[in-house]
Amino acid sequence: MTGMTDDDAGLWLREYHPATPGSVQLVCLPHAGGSASYYFPVSRALAPDVEVLAVQYPGRQDRRHEPLVRDLPELARRVHAVLRRRIDRPLALFGHSMGASLAFEVARLLEHEDGVAPVRLFASGRRAPSRVRDERVHLLDDRGLIADVRRLSGTEGGLLGDDEVLRMILPAIRADYTAAETYRYAPGPLLSSPITAFTGDRDPKATVDEVRSWQDHTTGAFDLHTYSGGHFFLNRHQAAVLDIIQAQLVTVPAGTRTA
C-alpha cells in the first residue's frame, strides 16, 4: 500500500491517552473478533511513560462497513504500511492470540524491509509461528463458531446473546478465525528483536511448550511468563503483565531505532 495518508493512518491507529514526548510506542494488535478498544485499559495504565497505539482492523466498530481481511499476511502488510511512517522513535509490538501472529509478521516486515527492528515483541496467548495445528473452526456454522468463542471467553457473553449485535460482529469473528487458522509460517531470517511471551497454563489454543518455541524465532533475548488460566488469562492477570511490559520498555534509551 503506497500513498498512505494521515487520514488512513487515523483509521488504523487509536491513541487514547497522551504520553511523554519521545516515549516508546507500544502497538497493540487485537485477538480474533477483537477491536482497538480492548486496549483502552492498557493505554490508561501505561500512560504517560509508554504511548499505546491500538490497531483497529477493518470491518468492526467504526470501520464495520469496510471489507474484512481474511488473510493474515495481507493484514500484516496493511498494518506495516501504516507503521513504517512512524518509525522515528522506539517502537514495540504487543499481540494477543491472532494478534501475536500478526505482530510477528509485522515485525518481520519492519526489520527486513525497513531495517528497523522493534525494540521488543510481546506475544500473548499464542503458540509460536512454527508450531502449527490443523484448526478448522472457521469452517463451522454460526452456532459452532459462537460456541468456540464462548468456550474461550473471548467476547463478553452479553454481546453474544444480543441478536442484533451478534449479526454485526459475527462476520468479523469468522474473518479473523479464517486469517488465524489458515496462517502458515514461511521460514526466513530470524528476528533480532527480543521476544517476551505470556501464556495461560490451561490455554486450549496453546500449550506452554508451544509458546516456549517463540525463542526459536529470534536471535535476541527471550523470556516466558506463565499464569493461571485459559486463553484469556490476560484479563485476570493484566496488572502483572503490564508491570513486565512497562519495566521492559521504560529502560529503552530515547532515540533507539533498532533492538
Please state the separation of Cα 136 from the chain's center in Å: 21
Q: Catalytic residue positions?
A: 97, 231
Query: C-alpha distances in angstroms, 8 versus 72, 94, 179, 245?
Result: 19, 21, 22, 28
CA angle, residues 33, 97, 246, in degrees to nearest 5: 110
Phi and psi at residue 138, in whole multiples of 5°?
-65, -15
Q: What is the dihedral of CA 136, 142, 145, 148, to 10 degrees?
A: -140
Sign of CA dihedral 91, 92, 94, 99: positive
